[in-house]
């Protein structure tokens, strides 16, 4: 029995060593430049393999040496600090901030770009005010850019007598920096909120990028929509005050929204629960259907079909003040 326990312990420790080795290799590759990162990753990988071998050959110095290296790497990791002070790409150069006076919200650095292509656009940063007493509901956009499993999430709040206010959670990239989902695990990117006009943030995806955008109108009352909006307001201001790392799994466009909705779940008509579809955001419509967040009297396939707005949106000028109303025509109301 003791021999079996020792074997299982060795196997468990081997998995731990190999797992931490893989993490350390990724960190060094993505956080150190070029050949330095590759050389560091190779060295750390060899140390990890030696540590794993040492567990089985009775050479305790090998795993202990690897443990010291790993602790040093952890110290470096925890010393990394996100920043707002970098040379950002223009569309993410400014973060929104929101002030509240009674029922009036004032959003500064609201983005209202006009996109012709991803590289050709007119920059417009605005300040707009919104009346909390005129919130009517909340809609969700999913923009599919890489198959059916992955989509970018936009959340849009509708107001009586004013244009919607839309939020997007994005990777805040520096000029010349490319996006990598693997790099997103290793504190390479900061997180950004974008508060925008739908003609900007939806139009970028329908007109400039040609993505498959689908809209779903949520079954939230005006009071519930206001609660979610105020949760957004609080987090937008927290981020403006304190930078935050983006993470491909734990801090992305869907998981942050999930936590915001969870924070007001007692006031909601639906209670979000942890589900793999929160991470595989392309499958989010099925999740929304299961928790009662969208129309329940229609099949999911029909909701998805009627929610595809890209072709209709492309026929509308991004300068048309009726853009938001027109893209909603035919989309099932909550």
**Percent of the residues in the chain that have a pLDDT greater than 70, as a whole number:** 96
d(C-alpha 115, C-alpha 295), whole Å:
32
Predicted confidence band of residue 272 (pLDDT cuts 50, 70, 90) = low
> Residue 182 contacts by C-beta under 8 Å, 6 or more apart in sequence?
26, 30, 248
**pLDDT tens, residue by residue, 117-137:** 999 999 999 999 999 999 999
d(C-alpha 171, C-alpha 184), whole Å:
9
What does the pLDDT read at residue 146? 82
Q: Is the predicted pLDDT of residue 202 greater than 70, yes or no? A: yes
What is the average per-residue pLDDT within 53-71?
92
In the chain, domain spans: 2-79, 90-327
What does the pLDDT read at residue 266? 47
How many C-beta atoms lie closer than 10 Å to residue 236's C-beta? 21
d(C-alpha 42, C-alpha 277), whole Å:
35
What is the average per-residue pLDDT within 172-176?
96
What does the pLDDT read at residue 85? 97
What is the average per-residue pLDDT within 7-23?
92
What is the average per-residue pLDDT within 31-55?
94
**pLDDT tens, residue by residue, 288-316:** 888 888 899 999 999 999 999 999 999 99
Predicted confidence band of residue 281 (pLDDT cuts 50, 70, 90) = confident
What does the pLDDT read at residue 271? 57
What does the pLDDT read at residue 267? 47
Average pLDDT, the chain: 92
């Amino acid at each position: 029995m003791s021999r079996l326990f020792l074997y299982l312990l060795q196997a468990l420790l081997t998995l731990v060593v190999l797992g931490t080795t893989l993490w350390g290799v990724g960190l060094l590759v993505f956080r150190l430049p070029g050949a330095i990162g590759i050389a560091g990753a190779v060295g750390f990988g060899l140390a990890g393999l030696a540590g794993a071998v040492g567990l089985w050959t009775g050479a305790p110095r090998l795993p202990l040496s690897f443990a010291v290296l790993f602790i040093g790497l952890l110290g470096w990791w925890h010393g990394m600090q996100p920043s707002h002070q970098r040379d950002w790409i223009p569309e993410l150069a400014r973060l929104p901030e929101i002030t509240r006076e009674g029922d009036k919200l004032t959003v500064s650095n609201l983005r209202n770009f006009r996109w012709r292509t991803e590289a050709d656009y007119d920059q417009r940063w605005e300040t707009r005010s919104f009346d909390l007493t005129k919130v009517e509901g909340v809609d969700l956009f999913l923009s599919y850019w890489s198959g059916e499993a992955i989509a970018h999430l936009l959340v849009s709040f509708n107001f009586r007598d004013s244009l919607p206010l839309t939020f997007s959670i994005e990777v805040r990239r520096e000029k010349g920096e490319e996006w990598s989902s693997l790099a997103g695990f290793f504190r390479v990117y900061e997180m950004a909120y974008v508060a925008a006009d739908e003609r900007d943030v939806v139009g970028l995806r329908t007109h400039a990028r040609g993505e498959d955008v689908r809209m779903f109108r949520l079954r939230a009352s005006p009071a519930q929509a206001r609660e979610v909006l105020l949760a957004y307001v609080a987090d937008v201001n927290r981020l403006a005050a304190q930078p935050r790392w983006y993470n491909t799994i734990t801090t992305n466009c869907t998981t942050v929204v999930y936590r915001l909705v969870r924070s007001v779940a007692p006031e909601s008509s639906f209670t979000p629960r942890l589900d793999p579809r929160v991470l595989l955001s392309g499958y989010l419509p099925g999740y929304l259907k299961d928790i009662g967040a969208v129309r329940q009297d229609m099949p999911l396939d029909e909701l998805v079909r009627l929610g595809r707005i890209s072709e209709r949106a492309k026929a509308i000028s991004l300068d048309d003040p009726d853009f938001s109303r027109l893209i909603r025509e035919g989309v099932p109301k909550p």
